[in-house]
Structure 1
Amino acid sequence: MKDNWKEVHPKSIFQAAIACPLSNQEQEILTLLYQPIIGVDAFGLYLTLLSEAEKTGISESLFHAELITIMDKSIKQIQLARKKLEGIGLLSTFVKNDAELGTLFLYRLNHPETAERFFKDEVLSLTLLNSVGQRKLDKLFDRFKPKFINLNGFEEISVGFKDAYLFKEEQIVAQSNQLSQMEQAFEDPRPAQKISAVSEQFDWSYFIQGIEKLGIKLPDNHVGFKEEVFVFHNLFGITELDMIDFCSKSFDYYTGKIDTKEFERAVYRTYDPDKKQKPSQFQKNETVDLSAEDQQTYRYNSLKMNGFSMQDIQMIMDSENNFPLNYLEALKNERGGYTTPQERSLVKYLVSKSGLPNSVINVLINYVYNIQKQPTLKADYVNRIANEWAQSGIFSPEKAIDHVREIAKKGKEQKQTRQRYGQNNRPIRQETLPDWVDNPVEEQKLSKEEQARLDKEIQDFLSKGGDN
């Protein structure tokens, strides 16, 4: 019966059903946690079916043609959206054949997981990570995680149930039939299946034999770990042998069990590694053995001969003699400002991921802060520039300065060309400028909790020598 979806056509009849309405919390989870994974078409299909079924629990019989009209989508697009809902557990599809009406479809809408179960589910949380990225995932997690109150120093004095309410235990026996009926009414005879990333292409038995030969055991939550292995296999195409190798680097020597957190880190170190910073590329006098001071003098003279101004040379020297966080702090202090936790986290990310030398990162910071007159560094904007510079092979501060000036010159020429010829409707060939040439858009401010978390992350980073 799994091929019955091929029988769907505009005149096919369907009904939508849901056991009970979604709560406000479930609607929020559906929008913020599920929508980035399933996409707007599947999200729209869920809401459309929900609007038909929510009031009475089951909709009247409808033609698929009505879905096509309401959603303005083809039947093929609707089927693809339906599969996405089914795959993530939000929809269960049932079919039966009627002698008069033909094939009938029943779309049962399932409730989204609670926030707790969503983030505890390795498949869902990793899929969301790959849809929105680490930064957005952290924001979503902070939004939904419980805000427990610190009760240190408090003593609970709450009364118990029997202290406040009259309850007769003998009623449990007397009303047992009614109580049993009410209990069974809330039990779904065919509950939604838990989503799974199990792949038939991955030989789980071979993988188990491999780790057992090494004396390694599965972690206590072996079901969750199995799902995680399949997620990484589907995500990165990791083979059984490579997966065994990751396990050999991430087990507890005392228990012999795989450390799941260390296993995750081992995978991400390989498939999302920190980039080794390129050495700053500038001209040195290699013919004679010069002291550090004389080498600086030679560097100064070389820059001067290449046409750099005194102001340029001072900025280049400063960029080469300071670490990025210190450089940013100095720029902020000059204007009486301060470095935000988000900026510290961003600079740390640039150092570990961009591959740009510290000197080039400093010029980038100077460009955004002093030339673009931005009071703070904004992650999306700064990352766009860093990506473009890395791809353009800009690994020295003087190259960065020349590149910025060349971009500015082209932008000015394009503007003048548009002003001169734009009104004559003549075709104008224009070279595309990088998107970071425009001013960055305003980014959403972090909450106090998010700032506190970033503060802790930066403190951990600095305590390990990350500011050097």
Structure 2
Amino acid sequence: MGNQLPNQSYQVFKSRPLSTEGKDALIFLYQPIIESDGLALYLSLAADHQSGTIAADAAEHVILDLLNAMNVGMQRFMQAKEKLEGIGLLRSFEKTDPQQGTSYLYLLQEPVHPLDFFQDELYSYLLLNRVGERKFEQLVSLFQPQRASLTSFQETTTSFTQAYGLDPKRFAASESKLQSVQQAFQEDQQPLALEEAAIDWDFLLYEAQRRYIRSENFTPAFKQKLLMYHALYGYDVLELLDLMADHVSLTTGEVDQKRLEQAVIRKSRQTFSKTTRSEDPETESQLRRFNTLKQNGFSDNDILLIQESEHTAPIPFLKAIKVEKNSFMTDSEQWLIKSLVERSPLPNSVINVLVHYALVVQNNAALNGSYINNIAAQWSELKIGTAEDAIKHVRNLVKTAKEKRTRPQTNGNRIIRQEKLPAWAESPVEEATLTPERQAELDRKLQNYLHKKAGDK
């Protein structure tokens, strides 16, 4: 759907008036999730619908009037609309007319009843994540059904059959009519849904079995939880597997979902704290290391690459490079990186430099399995253990390859046999299609992207 403009028109429809329970759920339970702009947009659209049902002409509305009512600009309006759509409170449709242009239809959905809200783990988790445990418990107490004390009482309630009776033949004769009425009263309510394809389930289930996590754990409800963790915190498949492996019973293979949820929240807070600290001015030790790297001949771009390689996991690092190259991470590349992390002795920072070398320096469109494994095996034998060692090694090999191609060594009339370099090192950097300026630009975008992702978390 294209960008909406303030002068475009829209209509609002809601199948029934907002109920008292729906309004309570909207204010107490949904508002912390959709935030104040989302609440303002919902109530403004509800008011537009109400005025349309009262007015005789039921005229279309203009988005500019909605912006004025909310006292926001288009960016905040679009963000609020997305929040309502994402949690199932709003469905949006557009129509293009050659003469009238583009107009929109907004279908407001009734908020989930508070009792149903707390019985749905996804809604409850969203609320808990936003308000914290203390406020969450207060809201649970506010909406929790009250139960009467029946101690010493005996039930004497008259049954339906005793009170009214039921003629099975007459009921069967009316069944088709009753079913049509039932369908007429069903609302087109969209449940909270997450993008199933956001997680590679085949890969996750395969690796889960290797970690003694039984496939029976992955019920539809649990898969929805994992999708929620991915959507909220950006955890990839490997991170989710690590979290599950820390909270699985080695005897039954069952994941303790309660402890997993607590670990997910705890990890997100630790990640946020780490990110916040990293934005502080450089410590004295960091400054000393920066100066040491500079004295050893590393450029500013080299040092930034070293830092990002040390602070980013291989999968997000690969994904970031792919994003900046307007490409995407393939399944085979994800499996390749996963295999390197598990099987090779190379640390993550060295794997990241290897990925950067293949995709940015040599400008390959994708990671070739045999090519990458060959390099990784060579580096493992050489015991390359740091990002700076990896960068230095690549440069030495390329430099040696250039010199031996342009100036063969001789001893009298006999040509000395040149040492054969690994096949992957024979591809010279100067033959890559990337210019140094383009490589520097891509590196800078990569660093900006990774910093932005860290800030989002």
TM-score tier after normalising by the smaller chain length: 0.5 to 0.7
Going from structure 1 to structure 2, the CA distance change for 1:260 and 1:108 (only over 3 Å counts) comes to same
| 2:194 pairs with one of 193, 196, 201 | 196
Q: 2-side partners of 1:9 and 1:26: how far apart? A: 30
Aligned 8 A contact 1:11 1:64 in 2: yes
Q: Secondary structure at the match of 1:105?
A: strand
> Counterpart in 2 of 1:36?
32
> Counterpart in 2 of 1:10?
6
Summarize deviations over 1:169-200 as a string: whole Å, max 9, x none: 33323434432321110224x54242326573
Q: Does 1:240 align with 2:237?
A: yes
Summarize deviations over 1:151-171 as a string: whole Å, max 9, x none: 344332111112222543333
Going from structure 1 to structure 2, the CA distance change for 1:21 and 1:218 (only over 3 Å counts) comes to farther
Q: Secondary structure at the match of 1:195?
A: coil
| 1:53 pairs with one of 49, 68, 76 | 49
Summarize deviations over 1:7-39 as a string: whole Å, max 9, x none: x22321211000111211110010011111111
Aligned 8 A contact 1:89 1:193 in 2: yes
1:91: how far off? Answer: 0.2
Q: Give the alignment of 1:119-138 within 5 angstroms.
A: 119-138=118-137
> Counterpart in 2 of 1:216?
213
Name the Cα RMSD after superposition.
2.7
> Counterpart in 1 of 2:71?
72
Q: Percent identity?
A: 31
Aligned 8 A contact 2:52 2:59 in 1: no
Summarize deviations over 1:353-387 as a string: whole Å, max 9, x none: xxxxxxxxxxxxxxxxxxxxxxxxxxxxxxxxxxx
Q: Secondary structure at the match of 2:107?
A: strand
After TM superposition, the score normalised by the length of structure 1 is 0.52
Aligned-partner residue type, residue 256 of structure 1: G
Q: Give the alignment of 1:300-319 within 5 angstroms.
A: none
Q: 1-side partners of 2:111 and 2:152: how far apart? A: 38
Aligned 8 A contact 1:95 1:104 in 2: yes
Q: Secondary structure at the match of 2:239?
A: helix
1:56: how far off? Answer: 6.6
Aligned-partner residue type, residue 242 of structure 1: E
Q: 2-side partners of 1:236 and 1:87: how far apart? A: 16
> Counterpart in 1 of 2:153?
154
> Counterpart in 2 of 1:292?
none
Aligned 8 A contact 1:219 1:225 in 2: no
> Counterpart in 1 of 2:18?
22
Going from structure 1 to structure 2, the CA distance change for 1:197 and 1:248 (only over 3 Å counts) comes to same
> Counterpart in 2 of 1:382?
none
Going from structure 1 to structure 2, the CA distance change for 1:180 and 1:149 (only over 3 Å counts) comes to same
> Counterpart in 2 of 1:374?
none
Q: Give the alignment of 1:227-266 within 5 angstroms.
A: 227-253=224-250, 255-266=252-263
Aligned-partner residue type, residue 192 of structure 1: Q
Going from structure 1 to structure 2, the CA distance change for 1:39 and 1:112 (only over 3 Å counts) comes to same
1:149: how far off? Answer: 2.9
Which has the higher mean CA deviation after the structures are superposed, 75-84 or 229-238?
229-238
Aligned-partner residue type, residue 36 of structure 2: V
After TM superposition, the score normalised by the length of structure 2 is 0.53
Say which structure is richer in helix: 2
Aligned 8 A contact 1:123 1:197 in 2: no
1:223: how far off? Answer: 1.8
> Counterpart in 2 of 1:334?
none
Summarize deviations over 1:49-105 as a string: whole Å, max 9, x none: 111224776953122222123223223322221111111110000112234322221
Q: 1-side partners of 2:122 and 2:111: how far apart? A: 14
> Counterpart in 1 of 2:416?
none
Q: Secondary structure at the match of 1:83?
A: helix
Q: 2-side partners of 1:80 and 1:195: how far apart? A: 18
Q: Give the alignment of 1:431-442 within 5 angstroms.
A: none
Summarize deviations over 1:239-280 as a string: whole Å, max 9, x none: 43332232223234554222211322343454558xxxxxxx
Aligned-partner residue type, residue 44 of structure 2: T
Going from structure 1 to structure 2, the CA distance change for 1:221 and 1:242 (only over 3 Å counts) comes to closer
Aligned 8 A contact 1:123 1:227 in 2: yes
Q: Secondary structure at the match of 2:212?
A: coil
Q: Secondary structure at the match of 2:106?
A: strand
Q: Secondary structure at the match of 1:133?
A: helix
**Number of corresponding residues:** 267
Q: 2-side partners of 1:265 and 1:97: how far apart? A: 47
Aligned 8 A contact 2:41 2:70 in 1: yes
Aligned 8 A contact 2:94 2:102 in 1: yes
Aligned 8 A contact 1:122 1:227 in 2: no
Q: Does 1:91 align with 2:90?
A: yes
Q: Secondary structure at the match of 1:194?
A: coil
1:221: how far off? Answer: 6.5
> Counterpart in 1 of 2:292?
none
Going from structure 1 to structure 2, the CA distance change for 1:170 and 1:155 (only over 3 Å counts) comes to same
> Counterpart in 1 of 2:113?
114
Aligned 8 A contact 1:19 1:57 in 2: no
1:227: how far off? Answer: 2.3
Which has the higher mean CA deviation after the structures are superposed, 54-63 or 74-83?
54-63
Q: 1-side partners of 2:251 and 2:223: how far apart? A: 22
Q: Secondary structure at the match of 2:253?
A: coil
Q: Secondary structure at the match of 1:107?
A: strand
